[in-house]
Amino acid sequence: MALEPPRVVIVGGGIAGLFTANALVARDIPVTVHEQAPALGEIGAGVFLTPNSVRQLHRVGLGPDVERWGARVGDGSRYHREDGTEIAGVQVTDSSGWNAVFGMHRADLVSMLADRLPDGVVQTGRRCTGLTQDDGGARVSFADGAEVEGDVVIAADGIHSELRHHVVPPSEPVFSGSVAYRGLVPHELVPDWPTDAWHMWLGPGRHFLTFPVRAGELVNFVGFVPADDEMRESWSAPGDPDQLRREFAGWDPRVGSLLEQVRTTLRWGLYDREPLPRWTEGRLSLLGDAAHPMLPHLGQGANQAIEDGMALATILARTDRDTAPAGLLAYERLRRERVAQVQRGARENGLRYDSVYADLSVRDAEMAAHVTYRKWLYDHDVLPEAEAAAGALA
């Protein structure tokens, strides 16, 4: 007799929740996604996708959408010193030479993930306020008084997760001491800017990143600078374009020419957490930033969330309504150490980007050598190992 698949309730309709829903739907596992905002959406900024997650997007049928809405980043991508001197090339393939690295507008990625889901899967205006569970199932309650029942609940509700405290004791996120100015410049305002390359400039205590998004129509920029006291208190706030220009005054004129065109920018405090000792309690598991918020210095938060989603769906596909909690533990076992390594790696890489080096050639050599780590990240395919973990459950 066929197994009756577990009913999955996802809290949070960001990149993590929406990709996971796609991966579950692809395996005919019933799922609903509950998002607190009145409508799905994302901030006006870019996200960088790398082969380890693009591989998974292809598997749920989203490869053509990534090609259409993304901007493929190629061989011309470079790290530079602040004065524009070239340091090293940027790794833009996995070890097989597959050039699956794309800049994407966050809103495009969210729409693309949402549009593929059947009607009724995503429910907006649903702010989760609580969870109860027992041997028979789990119930999620919402601010509007509604309650939804499932066999498993996935908390994909971000760094401020409402549900995390059901798994681990409450704790404060760790502030990095840096903030990021983020925004987009229409390519028509900087017509000479490359539409197929990723560029980063590194200086003492700060760095500046650009990559194209939306098929090259927009240039995404991120300026990482030390935090002042005001920013320590907030997560995100409108930034002052003139202040941003002052932060990078005197750098490579190419940076200045792009910043001249910035009209609006948001400032983000950069926070992460120590790797959590567990992600699962009974019928509840954490996923994406709810499980592993990380600094953006490897560009992996969303990419790792996509790996999580594929792992979870692959494992749950081999469980039923009774055995799904064992599947959650297998998902956690599979993912926790890899993601902890990436969380630690992001901190280390941030230090490399921002450190004051007495001898810059040391930093430059480290940047060039980092290609080995990138290959480790990008070569990873979570699917076969998730299938093996699922097989071990049976």
Per CB under 6 A, 13 contacts ligand FAD: yes
Residues binding ligand FAD: number (CB under 6 A): 33
Q: Which of the ranges 6-14, 61-69, 190-198, 376-384 carries the binding residues for ligand FAD, by CB under 6 A?
A: 6-14
Q: What HEC string does the chain produce? A: CCCCCCCEEEECCCHHHHHHHHHHHCCCCCEEEECCCCCCCCCCCEEEECHHHHHHHHHCCCHHHHHHHCEECCCCCEEEECCCCEEEECCCCCCCCCCCCEEEEHHHHHHHHHHCCCCCCEECCCCEEEEEEECCEEEEEECCCCEEEECEEEECCCCCCCCHHHCCCCCCCEEEEEEEEEEEEEHHHCCCCCCCCCEEEEECCEEEEEEEEHHHCEEEEEEEEECCHHHHCCCEEEECHHHHHHHCCCCCHHHHHHHCCCCCEEEEEEEECCCCCCCEECCEEECHHHCCCCCHHHCCHHHHHHHHHHHHHHHHCCCCCCCHHHHHHHHHHHHHHHHHHHHHHHHHHHHHHHCCCCCHHHHHHHHHHCHHHHHHHHHCCHHHHHHHHHHHHC
| Least distance CB 3 / ligand FAD (angstroms) | 28
| Least distance CB 260 / ligand FAD (angstroms) | 22
Which string of x and - marks every residue 267-306 that binds ligand FAD (by CB under 6 A)?
Answer: -x-------------------xx------x--xxxxx-x-
* Residue (13 or 194) nearer to ligand FAD, CB: 13
Contacts of ligand FAD in 142-161 (CB under 6 A): 156-158
Binding test (CB under 6 A) with ligand FAD, winner from 21, 23, 25, 47: 47
| Least distance CB 319 / ligand FAD (angstroms) | 23
| Least distance CB 197 / ligand FAD (angstroms) | 15
* Residue (148 or 180) nearer to ligand FAD, CB: 180
Per CB under 6 A, 24 contacts ligand FAD: no
Q: What residue has token string 């681990």? A: 168
d(C-alpha 330, C-alpha 317), whole Å: 12
**Two tokens, residue 338:** 């890899």
Q: Are 95 and 51 in contact (CB under 8 A)?
A: no
Q: Which of the ranges 31-39, 114-122, 324-332, 369-377 carries the binding residues for ligand FAD, by CB under 6 A?
A: 31-39
| Least distance CB 296 / ligand FAD (angstroms) | 4
* Residue (187 or 207) nearer to ligand FAD, CB: 207
| Least distance CB 272 / ligand FAD (angstroms) | 10
| Least distance CB 362 / ligand FAD (angstroms) | 26
* Residue (321 or 347) nearer to ligand FAD, CB: 347
Per CB under 6 A, 37 contacts ligand FAD: yes
Which residue, 192, 191, 197, 236, is CA-closest to 213? 197
| Least distance CB 194 / ligand FAD (angstroms) | 18
* Residue (5 or 296) nearer to ligand FAD, CB: 296
Binding test (CB under 6 A) with ligand FAD, winner from 17, 150, 212, 325: 17
Which string of x and - marks every residue 52-91 that binds ligand FAD (by CB under 6 A)?
Answer: ----------------------------------------
Which residue, 220, 225, 227, is CA-closest to 261? 220
Which residue, 334, 339, 350, 351, is CA-closest to 274? 339
Contacts of ligand FAD in 206-265 (CB under 6 A): 222
Binding test (CB under 6 A) with ligand FAD, winner from 5, 6, 12, 350: 12
Contacts of ligand FAD in 90-149 (CB under 6 A): 126-128
Question: Which residues of the chain form contacts with ligand FAD (CB under 6 A)?
Answer: 11-17, 34-37, 47-48, 126-128, 156-158, 162, 180, 182, 222, 268, 288-289, 296, 299-303, 305
